[in-house]
Amino acid sequence: MKKKVLYIEDEQFLARIVKETLELKGYEVLHKKDGGRLIDLLQSFSPDICVLDVMLPNIDGYTLGSTIRNIYPQLPVIFLTAKTQTSDILKGFSSGGTDYLKKPFSMEELMVRIENQLKLAAPKEDASIETQEEVALGKYLFSPGRYELQIKGTIIKLSSRESEILSILCKHANKTTDRKKLLYAVWGDDSFFNSRNLDVYIRKLRDYLSQDDGITIITLKGKGYHFTVPGI
């Protein structure tokens, strides 16, 4: 998926070069000469990053930056400007900028700073499965955050318990998940009833996951489950 850059710049000549260079690098670029109807633009275009000139007709770049930061707390914003006074730079960062590049700059520097900002804004890797975006399970796509299991475009809605248990199994994909630990993780105890209860959920999950026979939840009696998933 192409990353989208919203680029606001009034100098036509520079704008053209930047836009073309970005497009050559594989970005989708929306260039505007001023910040009019910014909020609409953000919503319809939904950029991954904004590159703003500071000296603009009508509304200046800093104001636009603040607006963006206000509405999209996480969206990277790079300011471009000939203003080189320290106070301008400070203003840039306090207006929600995540980087500040002084004109004149080389195209390469802009490119690498854009890449860098996108990398920094990307979801942090070290997060546990709770915050994890999506996991590929064979032909399925599991989105713990959305409580969904997707296969060939059809979406299976999971309940919170189902999703919770599947998440735990995923954490031990192709290894064994201890039954007792699973029970404790989900219910906080390993009573007889919850043990039956777990059986019920395992059956449901097996059922949901039956469309890919590379995926199996193997029972290891007295131990737990071995969740086999191809290609993890």
Single out the residue of 24, 39, 82, 200 in contact with a second copy (rule: CB under 8 A). 39
Q: Residue 218 interacts with a second copy (CB under 8 A)?
A: yes
Distance of CA 51 to the CA centre of its chain: 20
Q: Under rule CB under 8 A, how many of the chain's residues touch a second copy?
A: 54
Q: Residue 157 interacts with DNA (CB under 7 A)?
A: yes
Residues β-bridged to residue 220: 224
What's the half-sphere exposure (Cβ side, CA atoms, 13 Å) at 68?
Answer: 34
Stretch that binds a second copy, among 6-14, 27-35, 113-121, 193-201 (CB under 8 A): 113-121
Q: How far apart are CA 165 and CA 183, in angstroms?
A: 9
Q: Which of 42, 45, 29 is nearest to 69 (CA)?
A: 42
Q: Residue 9 interacts with a second copy (CB under 8 A)?
A: no
Q: What single string gives the DSSP state of each residue in 95-112?
A: TT-SEEEESS--HHHHHH
Q: Residue 17 interacts with a second copy (CB under 8 A)?
A: no
Max CA distance (Å), the chain: 74
Paired tokens of 200: 């019920």
Paired tokens of 157: 């809605």
From the list DNA, a second copy, none, which binds 155 (C-beta under 5 to 8 Å, kind-based)? none
Single out the residue of 23, 120, 181, 184 in contact with a second copy (rule: CB under 8 A). 120
Q: Give the CA angle between residues 41, 46, 49 to the nearest 5°.
A: 100
Q: Which of 100, 15, 12, 17 is nearest to 54 (CA)?
A: 100
Q: Residue 145 interacts with a second copy (CB under 8 A)?
A: yes
Stretch that binds DNA, among 100-108, 114-122, 136-144, 194-202 (CB under 7 A): 194-202
Q: Residue 134 interacts with a second copy (CB under 8 A)?
A: yes
Q: Residue 143 interacts with DNA (CB under 7 A)?
A: no
From the list DNA, a second copy, none, which binds 206 (C-beta under 5 to 8 Å, kind-based)? DNA
From the list DNA, a second copy, none, which binds 112 (C-beta under 5 to 8 Å, kind-based)? a second copy
Q: Residue 155 interacts with a second copy (CB under 8 A)?
A: no
